[in-house]
Chains A and B, each alone.
Chain A
Amino acid sequence: GQNIDQPTEMTATEGAIVQINCTYQTSGFNGLFWYQQHAGEAPTFLSYNVLDGLEEKGRFSSFLSRSKGYSYLLLKELQMKDSASYLCAVKDSGAGSYQLTFGKGTKLSVIP
């Protein structure tokens, strides 16, 4: 089985930087996704990490450490539209390798 932990809620100020952490325990790690989900909408893909290190994509970056079972999503130059839930999801290389296991999500509120 898998266990994924991420903070329930975070608040940050417009223009600032925020880091959303995700820790996981899995029997056969094969990649980690971050999705963004605005209230009442569908999740949309943000990033994918399978190797250790930092992946940068504009204002968003995602980091992975497989040995520590840890990832974070870094959002820079926060904008009001970044207020959303951020979902961490782990891909397992075992029997359920078609499947993603999602964390409960971190609700980020960006305030002026």
Chain B
Amino acid sequence: NAGVTQTPKFRILKIGQSMTLQCTQDMNHNYMYWYRQDPGMGLKLIYYSVGAGITDKGEVPNGYNVSRSTTEDFPLRLELAAPSQTSVYFCASSYLQGDEQFFGPGTRLTVL
């Protein structure tokens, strides 16, 4: 099992550009999550999904969108990149609600 995989590992965007961060898990987990982590700060939940076709906002959803068309994939979309979105983004998944979460390796995004 590959676990949770994320692409790309690194990306530099210009202000106003858009991009999609990819996340895939092969553990047949229903629950998937997107977090951002800023230096010296805890992980902040952006969006989460409890199954294919069902998504909901977390603590910091503004500027982001998600979709969950399959159990395996949970992409995160940035439509109009802003410098405030410079961060490390982690995708995670869990089998049950509130279970141990398995994290992907992260995407380091810089918006200039």
Binding site for B on A (CB under 8 A): 4, 8, 30-31, 33, 41-45, 48, 87, 89, 91, 97-105
- Decide if A99 touches B90 in the complex (CB within 8 Å): no
Chain B interface residue count: which class? 20 to 34
Residue ID in chain B nearest A44 by CB atoms: B103
Interface string of B26-61 (1 = CB under 8 A from A): 000001000000001111110010100000101100
Q: Does B65 contact A (CB under 8 A)?
A: no
Which 7 pairs between the two chains have the least Cβ-Cβ distance? A102-B42, A42-B103, A102-B43, A45-B100, A104-B42, A91-B98, A43-B103
* Complex alpha-carbon distance, A100 and B83, angstroms: 26
12 of the cross-chain contacts (CB-CB < 8 Å) are A4-B42, A33-B100, A41-B105, A42-B106, A43-B103, A44-B103, A48-B100, A87-B42, A97-B97, A98-B56, A100-B98, A102-B42
A95 to chain B, nearest CB (A): 10
Q: Does B101 contact A (CB under 8 A)?
A: yes
B87 to chain A, nearest CB (A): 14
Please provide the chain B residues from 56 to 91 with a CB less than 8 Å away from any CB of chain A in the complex. Answer: 56, 58-59, 90
* Complex alpha-carbon distance, A24 and B101, angstroms: 20
A99/B103 contact (C-beta < 8 A), A42-B90, A43-B90, A91-B98 known: no
* Complex alpha-carbon distance, A48 and B90, angstroms: 20
A87/B43 contact (C-beta < 8 A), A48-B100, A99-B48 known: yes
Known: A43-B90, A45-B100, A99-B59. 19 other contacts (CB 8 A): A4-B42, A8-B40, A31-B98, A42-B103, A42-B104, A42-B105, A43-B103, A44-B103, A87-B43, A97-B98, A98-B56, A98-B97, A100-B43, A100-B98, A100-B101, A102-B42, A102-B44, A104-B41, A105-B42
